[in-house]
Amino acid sequence: MNNWYYKKYIISLILLISTCTFAQRSPGDMDRFIDALMKKMTIEEKIGQLNLPVTGDITTGQAKSSDVAEKIRQGKVGGLFNLKGVGKIKEVQKLAVEESRLKIPLIFGMDVIHGYETIFPIPLGLSCTWNMEAIEKAARIAAIEASADGISWTFGPMLDICRDPRWGRASEGCGEDPFLGSEIAKAMVSGYQGKGLKSNNEIMACIKHFALYGASEAGRDYNTVDMSRIRMMNEYMPPYKAAVEAGAGSIMASFNEIDGVPATANKWLLTDLLRNQWGFNGFVVTDFTGIAEMVYHGIGDLKTVSARAINAGVDMDMVSAGFTETLRKSIDEGIITINTLDKACRRILEAKYKLGLFDNPYKYCDLKRPLKDIYTKEHRAEARKIASESFVLLKNENNLLPLKKQGNIAVVGPLAEAGENMVGTWSVAAVLDKTPSLVKGLRETLGDQAKVVYAKGSNLVSDTAYEKRATMFGRGLHRDNRTDKDMLEEALKVSANADVIVAALGESSEMSGESSCRTNLELPDVQRTLLTELLKTGKPIVLVLFSGRPVVLTWEQKNVPAILNVWFGGSESAYAIGDVLFGDANPSGKLTMTFPQNVGQIPLYYNHKNTGRPLGEGRWFEKFRSNYLDVSNDPLYPFGYGLSYTTFNYSNIAMSSKDLGMNEELTATVTVTNTGTRDGLEVVQLYIRDLVGSVTRPVKELKGFQKIFLKAGESKEVTFKITPELLKFYDYDLNYVCEPGDFNLMIGGNSCDVKNASFTLKM
C-alpha cells in the first residue's frame, strides 16, 4: 500500500511538472506559461484564484474533509491565511496540486508582523531603533521562521503614517514621519523578500494599509479619512511608494474611505496612482471582509461592491466571498469584463510563479526546517539585542540608571509577572508560554548578585473599566480578586526593605492594536494610585513603562525620577530590559512619535505647518496667536527624543557651500563627541526647512539620519549630502518639484535640540 501510494505520488508530481513545464524557471517565460495555463481555466476557476477564505485551524487528518477542502478541489480557492504548521500546510497544498483539475498551488499567508515565534519589538518600538540594518534583520529572521513553517506570504509591513496616538494601530506602524517610514519600508521589504524570492526562506511582502489608514478621524479604527491630495502625497504616501519601488509583491487595501469612496473600490487609488503612476506590478488584496464592509459604507449590495472592487483594481477578496458569489453574474450582465477578470487572475498566478510554487509547490514544506530554523538561540539573541536598542529612556534624574547589581530590588506592578503579555499585539504565531516575565528575566539576569522581590500592587484597570471592557486585559494578565487595598498593602510591605523599586506599569498588549483605540492615554487610575503610594516611600523608583503608543506622562515626568519606555519588546523583553536597567546595554532608542502633554493637543507632530499667527519660540501664550489658554504648544517629549547613559555634544555645522545648484550637491558636517563616561550609540538627525514655497511648507522635515557608535571621549565627523532631489515635494498641481530659494538646515539629537545653518538653492 505504501509503495502504491509512493508511485501514485511520483506520477502525480510528473503530471504536475508536465502541465506547468520547466520553462517557467526563466522569468522571461512567465507570460507564456501563464497564458497557456489560463487558456485551460474556466471562468469559475479564474474567479477561484481571487478567493482568500479564512480556514480556522485545520488539524492534520481533517484537511481533506473540511468545507474549504472541497472548494480547493474545485479550484475555487487561491490561498489561505493564518494556518500554522508546515505539516498542516503541506497536507492542504496536496489537495490543490494533486486533487484539483489544474493542480494550481495555493499561496499561504500569515500576519507575521514583528516576528514568527521569535518575536521582536512591536513595529513602533522597532522604528525607535532608527537602525535599518537591525530592522531588516528582524524581518529576515521573521521570514526564515515563517517560511520554515510553510508560510510564503506575510501581511506586512504596515506603513501607515500616524499622528494620533489614540489610534490603536499606531503600535503596528513606524511613527509619524514619512522620510523615516520610507527607509523602514525599504528595509522591511528587503528583509522579507531577500534576494528576489528565489530561496525557500524568502517570503512575499504585502504593503498595508493602502492608503491613509493611520489618519482616521478621532483616532478611531476603521473611521473616515478626508484630506487633500497634496497633503496625502507629501505626508502619507511616501512609505507606500518606497515599498513599491523596493519591489514588494503585494499590497492590501485599507478599510477607510478616500474622497468619499472606500479604498477597496477606489479606482484612482488602486489603478491611476498605484499602477499607472507608480508602476506597481504585483497584486492587490482586500483587508479582512473589506469588500462586504462596503455595503455598510452605503455604496451598494454585495454584488455591486464586488464589481466596484475588481473594476477599481482589487485582485483578491479576503473572506467576503463577494467575488465567488457574484462575479460570474456580473460578467454575464456586462458589469465587469472577462478582460478585467483575466487581469486579476493573472496577477495572482504571477505571484505564485514568482514565489516558485509552480516549479515546486512544496517549496515551503520542508518538514525538517522548523526544528533547525524556528526560535533558535541565534534568533533569540538578535531579538534581545534589538529589543534593548528599541527602548527609549525618557527621564533619568541624578543618573539613577543604570542600577547596580546588588541589594534588594522590588519589582511591583500588574505587568511584572505577565510573560505572555510581553510580546505585544499582532504576535499570532508566538508560543506564549516560552516568554519569561519581567520578574523571571531579572532574576535570571542577576543570579545571586541581588535579591528580586515581587508584588502585583494593583490590577491593570479599575473594576469599572474592567466591567466595560474585559478585553483590556492582555494575554496571561489575569484579574486578581483581592481588594485594591490588600494588593497595595502587599506592595508597600514588599518594598519596605528594597533599595530600589522597579514599577512595571502601563498598557497591556491588548490595549493597543487593531480595534484598540483610546481617548484617555494616562496611566489607568489604579496604577496611578499604586505609583503615588510607592513614591511616598521615598525609595528611588524606576518606571518601566509598557505601551503600544505614545501615552500621556506629564505627571510621571514631574514626579518619577527615572522612566524607561520599553514598548512591548518581544519574546526576549525581560532579558533586554534587564540588560538596560543594569547597564549591560546603553539605551539608544529615539521616539518616532511625539508624546503630548495631554490628549487635547492631539494630533501633535513635529513637521507641522506654520500659521499666519505663529506662537513665538519658547513662549507659552500670546494674545491673538495660534495657541491654547491652558497648555503650551510644546510636546512633553519631541520626535527624535531619547536619553542615554552618556552625553553627546554637537559642534556647529560646517557647510561645504552656501549655494546649491540644480545639478550639484553640498555637504553638511558636524562633529559629535561622547562627553560622558560610557560608550554609547547616538542617532544624528538632519532636518531641513524650505523657507519660501509656492505652497506652504512644514517648519522642518527629517531628511537624513545616521546612527553612530562612540566610545567614551571619542569624537566623529558626521556628514550629510544635500542634493536638489532631497528637497523635492508635491506642489499644488501634484508635480514633484524642488523650488529655488532659501533653506534652513538643522542637525541634532532630536527634532528640537539642533544646530542651525542655511543654504540657497539656485536655478
Which residues are catalytic, by number?
287
CA distances from 334 to 242, 257, 330, 666, 749 (A): 37, 26, 6, 58, 60
384: Cα within 13 Å, side-chain hemisphere: 21
SS3 469: coil
528: Cα within 13 Å, side-chain hemisphere: 13
Q: How far from chain centre, in Å, is Cα 66? A: 34
State the Cα–Cα distance between residues 275 and 299, nearest whole angstrom.
24
Q: How many CB atoms lie within 10 A of CB 196?
A: 10
State which amino acid sits at residue 320: S
Beta bridge partners of 383: none
Q: Which of 160, 189, 190 is nearest to 173 (CA)?
A: 160
Burial class (CB in 10 A: 0-12, 13-18, 19+), 20: buried
* Residues in the chain, overall count: 763
Beta bridge partners of 455: 412
State which amino acid sits at residue 501: I
How does strand 666-674 pair with strand 648-650?
Answer: antiparallel
Phi/psi for 409 (5° steps) reads: -120, 120
State the Cα–Cα distance between residues 213 and 211, nearest whole angstrom.
6
- Note the maximum CA span of the chain: 90
State the Cα–Cα distance between residues 508 and 271, nearest whole angstrom.
40
Burial class (CB in 10 A: 0-12, 13-18, 19+), 100: buried
Residues 749, 502, 559, CA angle at the centre, nearest 5°?
65
State the Cα–Cα distance between residues 347 and 340, nearest whole angstrom.
11
CA distances from 352 to 277, 287, 473, 605 (A): 25, 20, 40, 41
Phi/psi for 128 (5° steps) reads: -75, -5
Residue whose grid cell is 507629501: 234
Q: How far from chain centre, in Å, is Cα 483? A: 38
SS3 135: helix
User: Quick one: CA dihedral 535, 537, 541, 544, positive or negative?
Assistant: negative
* Grid coordinates given for 469: 471592557
Show Cβ contacts of residue 223 under 8 Å, excluding neighbours closer than 6 positions. 216, 217, 256
* Grid coordinates given for 320: 467576503
Residues 550/165, Cβ–Cβ less than 8 Å? yes
Residues 349/38, Cβ–Cβ less than 8 Å? yes
State the Cα–Cα distance between residues 180 and 167, nearest whole angstrom.
20
Element (H, E) at 614: none
Residues 421/441, Cβ–Cβ less than 8 Å? no
Element (H, E) at 257: strand 257-258
* Grid coordinates given for 501: 523599586
**DSSP class of 96:** I
